[in-house]
A = this chain, B = another copy of it.
Amino acid sequence: MTLRTPYLLFIGDAPDQLAAKTAHGIAFWRPEISVGQFRLPGCNADLGIPDMNIEEAAAAGVKTVIVGTTNRGGVLGEGWEGLLVRALELGMDLASGLHHRLTDIPALREAAARCGRQIADVRHPTREFAVGNGIKRPGKRLLTVGTDCSIGKMFTALALKKEMRARGINADFRATGQTGIFIAGDGVSIDAVVSDFVSGAVEWLCPENDPDHWDLIEGQGSLFHASYAGVTLGLIHGAQPDALVMCHEPTRKHMRGLPTYKLPDLGICIARNVEAAQLTNPAAVCVGVSVNSGALDAAAARDYLRRTEDETGLPCVDPVRTGIGGIVDRLLR
């Protein structure tokens, strides 16, 4: 499954910017394929790209309509179905990151069949994976890991790819979540894979490659997240990372969704992730800390990065504020 580009980003009646964060990620990282946004009355999100309806998108050459948001009930809003049928009739594919499959909606499934179009429910793997074999494969791999979920692992991997490519390094981003898949055009939504096959799916996602090629693999969850740590561990083992980058947000009060769980100590979190990675790649090391310091003012952010650099002995950057060059320098040393 590879998504055809360019995209129309369908954000429906998203009540705020956060509700459209998948579309935001796509528009930020792939502006050249994000030709328009489709908003309905009541939408309070704005991606800062041209508004288009379905007909205008087709005329502009859009190949895939990305459905990255639901209404407040987690399902398609009233009237959305007809709009998406129209998109199929005008020759566009659909791609969705929703929990409920678009392919489970009879009208959409029938329209896609009738028009010879594809519907990609990227949160649901459509192929079977083998069990992981743990056999070391050629090519270099970097995996982003985190103290928590939703803490900048995708952003960091994409920033690394951009910086490494700018330096002429042969590098690819490997997507493991829905937003990453829309950005990359393919990938595996790893938390939707049956648990037995997680490591195998990751081995498939970043297979053997040239010795100087880097896969920059989007991490998921956290070894310290009581709900999802198993996903993270399977991902670490399948990735066989040569390098880890730890992602962190210094003002977060508790683990996402778990009010009684504090974030782990950064040093312990790094040590445990390296320990886990060394099972399938004994040479694994941590090469840096990527901080989302957006909640701090400039001086506090500078202090935090410097202090963390001293404490961990690793380059410590904020990809937005300082760029990610310091980590790439360390990686290439």
Contact = CB atoms under 8 A, between A and B. Distances in A.
A261 interface: yes
A195 B258 contact: no
Interface in A215-234: 223-224, 226-234
A253 to B, nearest CB: 16
Contact of A229 (B133, B237, B260): B237
A320 interface: no
A195 B199 contact: no
B261 A134 contact: yes
A226 B198 CA distance: 11
B230 A195 contact: yes
A200 interface: yes
Interface string A129-170: 001111100000000000000000000000000000000000
Nearest to A231: B195
Among A133, A191, A193, A229, find the residue whose CB has the most chain B CB atoms closer than 10 A.
Answer: A229
A64 interface: no
Interface residues of A, number: 37
Interface string A19-59: 00000000000000000000000000000000000000000
Contacts of A237: 226-227, 229-230
Nearest to A221: B196
A27 B213 CA distance: 54
A215 B257 CA distance: 27
A134 B225 CA distance: 9
A273 interface: no
Contacts of A260: 134-135
Contacts of A261: 134
A331 interface: no
A1 interface: no
A51 B228 CA distance: 46
A134 B229 CA distance: 11
Given A134-B260, A192-B196, A229-B276, 15 more contacts: A131-B228, A132-B226, A134-B258, A134-B261, A190-B195, A194-B194, A195-B230, A198-B230, A199-B228, A199-B229, A223-B233, A227-B237, A229-B233, A229-B237, A230-B237
**List of 9 A-B pairs having minimum Cβ-Cβ separation, nearest first:** A230-B234, A134-B226, A191-B196, A132-B227, A230-B230, A195-B195, A230-B233, A195-B231, A233-B233
23 contacts: A132-B227, A132-B228, A133-B226, A134-B258, A134-B260, A135-B260, A191-B194, A192-B195, A192-B196, A193-B194, A193-B195, A195-B195, A196-B231, A199-B228, A200-B227, A226-B280, A227-B237, A229-B234, A230-B230, A230-B231, A230-B235, A231-B234, A233-B233
